[in-house]
């Protein structure tokens, strides 16, 4: 596929305007819809997401996979629900204004005590959530078998993809998502409801992300250990944990990728250019 990735990247950058707030990328395989909010307070989220082409960027990453059908990314108001989900019946990923608004509200004024900037604390979790939902979409659309809990598997797919972004983008998403999980964890009850939920507890999702980041590159993410974001005991198994995720991704999703996975550098470049 000489030149294929370049063509793919260019396709990803050129959106075709259709109805207001809707555009397609990747030859129409991926559709993005920015529904205009009724609530005036969400207007800024709408404008920023649209101007920065957030849905298109995530769509361009997922467009590196040959999808059998069209996939839609939609930003909409959800009657007060703080949520994001993938719906297999209409093959669409929805992210609610309410959820993004809660992320904006939870972000530090300038910088958190741990050094996470406001920008990272907002952009990071939005990308992580969209990549997590993209994981659910890929499992469904490609018929990927899942051992273990689907929610954990979707987090792992999101982590693997985000750790292949440019170093600056990867750091931004890791730092911002870690901040989001840690902040969410503070108000989270540890009770039967939390233990029986299909999602892991926020602290577990925090440590899983920290472990995969550290396992992917011990030098780049050494702060995970030196700043004690991860206990030493867990850190010892992170390289192996990352290896399991990378192996499963290569085996199960790799064959559907346009870029050959064995050519890791090309894949990395493709992921990078998709988010720039």
138 is an interface residue for Zn ion by CB under 5 A: no
Sheet holding 84-87, edge to edge: 16-17, 22-25, 30-34, 71-76, 92-96, 84-87
137 is an interface residue for Zn ion by CB under 5 A: no
Angle between helices 97-106 and 167-186 (to 10 degrees): 90
Q: How far is the CB of 21 from Zn ion (least distance, A)?
A: 25
Q: Which is nearer to Zn ion, 13 or 142 (CB)?
A: 142
CB 123 within 8 A of CB 130: no
Q: Which is nearer to Zn ion, 154 or 175 (CB)?
A: 154
Q: Which is nearer to Zn ion, 67 or 154 (CB)?
A: 154
Q: Which is nearer to Zn ion, 86 or 214 (CB)?
A: 86
**CA–CA separation, 82 and 97 (whole Å):** 8
Q: How far is the CB of 125 from Zn ion (least distance, A)?
A: 13
Which has the closest alpha carbon to 272: 186, 171, 181, 147?
Answer: 171
93 is an interface residue for Zn ion by CB under 5 A: no
154 is an interface residue for Zn ion by CB under 5 A: yes
Burial (Cβ within 10 Å: 0-12, 13-18, ≥19) of residue 123:
buried
CA-based R_g, the chain, Å = 18
Q: How far is the CB of 128 from Zn ion (least distance, A)?
A: 11
> Phi and psi (nearest 5°) for 237?
-100, 5
Q: Which is nearer to Zn ion, 46 or 132 (CB)?
A: 132
Q: How far is the CB of 85 from Zn ion (least distance, A)?
A: 7
Interface region with Zn ion, contact rule CB under 5 A, candidates 31-39, 149-157, 175-183, 264-272: 149-157
CB 94 within 8 A of CB 87: yes
Site string for Zn ion, 183-212 (x = CB under 5 A): ------------------------------
Q: How far is the CB of 154 from Zn ion (least distance, A)?
A: 5
Number of residues that bind Zn ion (CB under 5 A): 2
Q: Which is nearer to Zn ion, 15 or 78 (CB)?
A: 78
Q: What angle do CA 173, 133, 52 make, to 5 degrees?
A: 50
157 is an interface residue for Zn ion by CB under 5 A: no
**CA–CA separation, 141 and 212 (whole Å):** 25
Q: How far is the CB of 146 from Zn ion (least distance, A)?
A: 12
Which has the closest alpha carbon to 93: 62, 130, 63?
Answer: 130
Residues in the chain: 276
**How many CA atoms, within 13 angstroms, populate the side-chain half-sphere of residue 68?**
9
Q: Which is nearer to Zn ion, 81 or 240 (CB)?
A: 81
Q: How far is the CB of 261 from Zn ion (least distance, A)?
A: 24
Residues 37-66 contacting Zn ion, CB under 5 A: none
Q: Which is nearer to Zn ion, 15 or 87 (CB)?
A: 87
Q: By CB under 5 A, name the binding residues for Zn ion.
A: 151, 154
């Amino acid at each position: 596929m000489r030149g294929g990735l370049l063509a793919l990247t260019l396709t990803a950058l050129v959106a075709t305007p259709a109805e207001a707030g809707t555009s397609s990328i990747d030859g129409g395989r991926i559709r993005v819809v920015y529904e205009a909010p009724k609530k005036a307070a969400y207007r800024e989220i709408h404008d920023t997401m649209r101007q920065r082409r957030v849905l298109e960027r995530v769509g361009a990453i997922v467009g590196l996979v040959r999808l059998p059908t069209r996939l839609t990314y939609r930003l909409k108001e959800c009657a007060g629900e703080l949520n994001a989900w993938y719906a297999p019946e209409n093959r669409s990923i929805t992210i609610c204004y309410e959820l993004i608004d809660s992320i904006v509200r939870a972000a530090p004024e300038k910088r958190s005590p741990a050094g996470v900037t406001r920008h990272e604390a907002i952009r990071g979790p939005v990308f992580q959530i969209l990549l997590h939902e993209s994981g659910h979409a890929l499992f469904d659309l490609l018929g990927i078998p899942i051992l273990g809990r689907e929610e954990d598997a979707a987090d792992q797919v999101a982590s693997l993809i985000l750790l292949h972004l440019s170093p600056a983008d990867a750091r931004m998403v890791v730092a911002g998502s870690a901040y989001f999980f840690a902040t969410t964890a503070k108000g989270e009850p540890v009770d039967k409801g939390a233990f029986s939920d299909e999602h892991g507890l926020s602290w577990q999702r925090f440590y899983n992300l920290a472990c995969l980041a550290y396992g992917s590159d011990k030098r780049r993410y050494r702060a995970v250990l030196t700043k004690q974001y991860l206990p030493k005991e867990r850190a010892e198994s992170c390289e192996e944990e990352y290896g399991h995720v990378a192996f499963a991704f290569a085996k199960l999703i790799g064959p559907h990728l346009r870029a050959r996975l064995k050519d890791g550098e090309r894949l990395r470049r493709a992921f990078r250019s998709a988010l720039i």
